[in-house]
Structure 1
Amino acid sequence: MSQPEVAQRLSVTRQYLNKLEAAKDYPAEEFALALAEVFDVDVSYFYRSVGQEPGMDQIHFRKQRTAPQKFAHQAIAAITLFKKIIDFLEKYYEFPLPNFPDVIAKSAVEIEEAAELTRSYWGLPQNAPIGNLTDAVEANGGLVAYFKGVSEKVDALSTNEERPLIVRSTAIRSLYRQRFDIAHEIGHRVLHLGVDTGDKETEAEANRFASALLLPRHAFVNEFPRGHRIDWQKVFELKLRWKVSAKAIIRRAFDLGVINAIQYRTAHIHFSKTGQSKSEKLDDVGDSEVPTLLADALNDVSRDPVELGRFYEYTGLNSSSVEKLTGIKLPDIVSSQLSNIRFL
């Protein structure tokens, strides 16, 4: 929800909301209650520290070019809430240790090698498809989550802190795009630790990394069909085998010199003429990858009303707001369950 929309619903000025955001004023009780209802959080949320907001060098924000800058602020807010959830869970749940390489790579060859190094770190074969990329991330200490609350124009965002967090938009339903977006965010974590991203250069580097991670160069060059004309039947066979979009396959072929610039342009004309500019044939084939670490940890906490109460107290969230943010449904806490609980 945008600031003007909040101001309109609560019958206040944007200037007043700006003061609240800057902690130059504090809301009256009745206003705080109304604000909590608008954002579906506990009223105590507005009277607590949410922790240090991540800086732009700690968050990678992948949005479409037409997305307004305001979505960057919404993305940071979402990441801040996710961090609050994870901070609590880290105290009670033993996640796998983070196992992501940290590489300085600028040239195409260096980025290829960084992707191969990542496969090596994770014990993945160098010349075979990655069966489930989400599982690979979580097995190596990363967390993957899905969010509903920012914008369909936001593809993904991630952090490059000690425990990487990759957050994907639920608006993207294609398995093939989902995997590429996750691989793109892995690229930021491996290549851009402590670096401001979002410019054309770092985005191109992350894209090249994602392509190299999902479509290893030696195997790809051997499997991509050669010829003056692109063999589209074979391209879509590769899409199903490697779980990568046809557009990404064509781009990979161009980057590796398997097709030339004229063939590359002709391929994009083909996508346009066949109505595949935004969605492709076979996009509905294959099940989405489902992250489990965060859901398992939250479900473990939810089994104990005392721990669940502490979780809600610590984060300032409630069952509804957690579900909106993460897609994970937790039980509500009723007053009788909390009557004998003291939070320190």
Structure 2
Amino acid sequence: MASHLRVVGDEDDGRSPDLRLIADAFDPSRLIQARHLSGLTKRAVASSLRVSPAAVGQWETGATSPRPNHLEALAALLDVPVTYLAAGRPYARLEPTSAHFRSLRSTSARERSRAIAFTEQVWELTYALEKRVQLPPVELPGFSAGEVMHENFPSDPREAARAIRRQWGLGLGPIPRVVRTLENHGIITTLAPFAGGANPTVDAFSTSQLPRPVIVLTPDRANDVYRHRFTAAHELGHLLLHAEVVPGDLAQEREADIFAAEFLTPKESILPELPSRMDLRALGALGSAWGVSVESLLYRCREVGSVSEATYRRAFVRLNSLRKLDLFSPEPVQGYPGEVPLLLRRAFDVACDNGLTMRELSNELHMRPRRIRLLLGATEKPPVLKPLDTAETWK
């Protein structure tokens, strides 16, 4: 299917909105969202517009509204159409405390706010596309309209991993395509830098508190396809196990790791394949077959007691030394199309084949086309798509 993403320009549609009407319909939440996406503080916005920080604070609380000339300057500063700052379209507010951040301790409040605003926009795009294209139904146990209520689903992470494998018909072998599996079960998964730039301390995060569950994976942390797959499985664990988010909770992070290990390498299947003695070459081959890292298998060896703690630690030292020689090097995600999110881009293409244009979508969302392309995860050279159900190995 030909992509529609490279043939549409970023120009505005030529309309000049009445700034007084926009001022009357000003939505403080849209200003907050756009400011968070820009990474700017209220003080920085105030300095640029030559107003006081208190004035910007009053705009964001709704105590006052910006004057028309300030609205125009705000839109230019935040790189949004001026109509973006008005009410009158669907908006799903997501609190920073309602998302699982894998690297919370090293992630600043500003970066978390930017990531949350990005996710809100992903939902808006999904909502607009879902009006035109039927997306896969959400098949996440207990999930309904932004809530997860478990009654009969296991709370133990290993049992939960086995249960979702059974429910999704994944068997006990390697999972060919983790990200595609998530998408095929209705989970919105994205791989894009926030606000057009890199957030090096935001590893990955997820939320079940939007009308569809969302997992956000970052390319800055996806230079290793094995880690990428584990991270996606880790976030699935959060969605299934932790409806009540406890930001920075180490116990929840540990449970999500246990879930991911069992989800990707069921103990029943992987245990007979683990080498009887420490052998990095054998672990490398086994990891390639299962789509997991050597580190993950080393953890498995220690977990099941096939190696001692001292042997485990020595193996990590040797592995790190070998990697400094460019051996056991990570492989980038882009070489594995089944691990690059596709659902939103495919939905956009189908909608375009049925009459949607980028300009129409841009006008509806009040976002610039380049912003929509970012949310869609568009690349200059999209990976070649393959049928979703024909792969016999995880690759």
Shift of 1:245: 1.6
* CA distance in structure 2 between the partners assigned to 1:78 and 1:115 by the alignment: 29
SS in 2 for 1:154: coil
Structure 1 residue 168 corresponds to structure 2 residue 199 = no
SS in 2 for 1:157: strand
The answer to whether the Cα contact below 8 Å between 1:44 and 1:316 also exists between their aligned partners in 2 is yes
Shift of 1:316: 2.0
Structure 1 residue 157 corresponds to structure 2 residue 205 = yes
Residue type of the alignment partner of 1:165: V
Structure 1 residue 143 corresponds to structure 2 residue 188 = yes
Per the normalisation by structure 2, the TM-score is: 0.73
Alpha carbons of 1:22 and 1:45: their partners in 2 closer, same or farther (altered >3 Å)? same
* CA distance in structure 2 between the partners assigned to 1:285 and 1:46 by the alignment: 38
Alpha carbons of 1:38 and 1:177: their partners in 2 closer, same or farther (altered >3 Å)? farther
Matching residue of 2:297: 249
Moved more, 161-170 or 186-195: 161-170
Once the two structures are superposed, residues 284-310 of structure 1 have per-residue CA deviations (whole angstroms, 9 ceiling, x without a partner) of 277232222100112233456666555
The answer for unaligned runs of 5 or more in structure 2 is: 1-37, 143-149, 381-395
Alpha carbons of 1:281 and 1:28: their partners in 2 closer, same or farther (altered >3 Å)? farther
| Mapping for residues 175-194 of structure 1, pairs under 5 Å | 175-194=225-244
Alpha carbons of 1:21 and 1:304: their partners in 2 closer, same or farther (altered >3 Å)? farther
* CA distance in structure 1 between the partners assigned to 2:347 and 2:140 by the alignment: 21
Residue type of the alignment partner of 2:349: N
Alpha carbons of 1:89 and 1:270: their partners in 2 closer, same or farther (altered >3 Å)? same
Sequence identity (%): 27
Moved more, 152-161 or 43-52: 43-52
SS in 2 for 1:269: helix
Correspondence for 2:166 among 107, 114, 120? 120
* CA distance in structure 1 between the partners assigned to 2:352 and 2:81 by the alignment: 17
* CA distance in structure 1 between the partners assigned to 2:159 and 2:229 by the alignment: 20
Per the normalisation by structure 1, the TM-score is: 0.83
Matching residue of 1:63: 103
Alpha carbons of 1:28 and 1:132: their partners in 2 closer, same or farther (altered >3 Å)? same
Residue type of the alignment partner of 1:299: D
* CA distance in structure 1 between the partners assigned to 2:184 and 2:364 by the alignment: 27
* CA distance in structure 2 between the partners assigned to 1:220 and 1:40 by the alignment: 50
SS in 1 for 2:372: helix
Alpha carbons of 1:231 and 1:58: their partners in 2 closer, same or farther (altered >3 Å)? same
Shift of 1:20: 2.9
Once the two structures are superposed, residues 73-110 of structure 1 have per-residue CA deviations (whole angstroms, 9 ceiling, x without a partner) of 1121111111111122222211111112245655xxx3
Shift of 1:314: 3.5
Moved more, 128-137 or 310-319: 310-319
The answer to whether the Cα contact below 8 Å between 1:99 and 1:140 also exists between their aligned partners in 2 is yes
Shift of 1:144: 1.3
Structure 1 residue 325 corresponds to structure 2 residue 364 = no
Q: How many equivalent residue pairs?
A: 323
Correspondence for 1:130 among 175, 178, 196? 175
* CA distance in structure 2 between the partners assigned to 1:111 and 1:29 by the alignment: 54
SS in 2 for 1:182: helix
* CA distance in structure 2 between the partners assigned to 1:201 and 1:280 by the alignment: 33
SS in 2 for 1:324: helix
Structure 1 residue 237 corresponds to structure 2 residue 237 = no
* CA distance in structure 2 between the partners assigned to 1:73 and 1:309 by the alignment: 28
Shift of 1:236: 1.0
The answer to whether the Cα contact below 8 Å between 1:60 and 1:188 also exists between their aligned partners in 2 is yes
Alpha carbons of 1:306 and 1:240: their partners in 2 closer, same or farther (altered >3 Å)? closer
Structure 1 residue 82 corresponds to structure 2 residue 132 = no
Moved more, 178-187 or 194-203: 194-203
* CA distance in structure 2 between the partners assigned to 1:325 and 1:132 by the alignment: 22
CA RMSD of aligned residues (A): 2.8
The answer to whether the Cα contact below 8 Å between 1:63 and 1:156 also exists between their aligned partners in 2 is yes
The answer to whether the Cα contact below 8 Å between 2:174 and 2:290 also exists between their aligned partners in 1 is yes
* CA distance in structure 2 between the partners assigned to 1:246 and 1:130 by the alignment: 17
Matching residue of 2:139: 99
Once the two structures are superposed, residues 131-186 of structure 1 have per-residue CA deviations (whole angstroms, 9 ceiling, x without a partner) of 11111111111121112116121121222145221111121222111111110111
The answer to whether the Cα contact below 8 Å between 2:99 and 2:245 also exists between their aligned partners in 1 is no
* CA distance in structure 1 between the partners assigned to 2:266 and 2:304 by the alignment: 11
Shift of 1:70: 2.3
Residue type of the alignment partner of 2:328: K
The answer to whether the Cα contact below 8 Å between 2:226 and 2:293 also exists between their aligned partners in 1 is yes
The answer to whether the Cα contact below 8 Å between 1:3 and 1:14 also exists between their aligned partners in 2 is no
